[in-house]
């Protein structure tokens, strides 16, 4: 799906929910659609403020909460860094390198066995959007093995 269509889908979802469609909401949506990676609320705020300078960080947080309530945006906790956001889409998990900080998205199917085992053993339902596994990426692992 192209960016213009994603933006229109977000706008349609907001209208369907009966919410006001403010310049700030349109701009947050636009910034999210243009992102190719996960971004923090601070990064979103800075990008929004390039277009609409008077939008406050608290406004961006409220918009992100609204977008998440409407299942337009998902947040994830990857490593020790700030919470990151991305448009809702295919469910995936994250591998986070504890050495260089690289984050690698992996399809949720890689967590199927773990998810089933957690449910069977503990009655625990895994939230696959929030899965982040720490370790070493291939590059850092190779460098670590050579030292």
- What tokens appear for 130 in the block? 């929030």
Domains of the chain (ranges; CATH) run 3-87 (1.10.10.10), 92-146 (3.30.1490.190)
Model pLDDT, residue 46: 97
Round the average pLDDT of the chain to a whole number and report it: 88
pTM exceeds 0.85, yes or no: no
Q: What are the Cα distances from residue 99, in Å, to 37, 79, 137, 138, 139?
A: 19, 11, 8, 11, 10
- What tokens appear for 113 in the block? 């066995």
| Ranges under pLDDT 50 in the chain | none
For residues 40 and 85, is the Cβ–Cβ distance under 8 A?
yes
pLDDT in tens, 29-39: 999 999 888 88
């Amino acid at each position: 799906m192209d960016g213009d269509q994603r933006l229109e889908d977000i706008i349609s979802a907001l209208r369907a929910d009966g919410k006001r469609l403010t310049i700030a909401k349109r701009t947050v949506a636009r910034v999210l659609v243009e992102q190719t990676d996960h971004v923090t609320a601070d990064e979103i705020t800075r990008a929004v403020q390039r277009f609409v300078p008077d939008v406050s960080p608290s406004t961006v947080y409220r918009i992100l909460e609204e977008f998440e309530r409407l299942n337009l945006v998902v947040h994830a906790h990857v490593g020790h860094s700030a919470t990151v956001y991305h448009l809702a889409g295919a469910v995936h998990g994250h591998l986070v390198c504890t050495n260089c900080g690289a984050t690698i998205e992996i399809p949720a199917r890689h967590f199927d066995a773990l998810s089933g085992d957690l449910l069977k053993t503990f009655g625990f339902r895994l939230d696959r959007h929030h899965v982040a596994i720490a370790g070493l990426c291939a590059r850092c692992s190779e460098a670590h093995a050579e030292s």
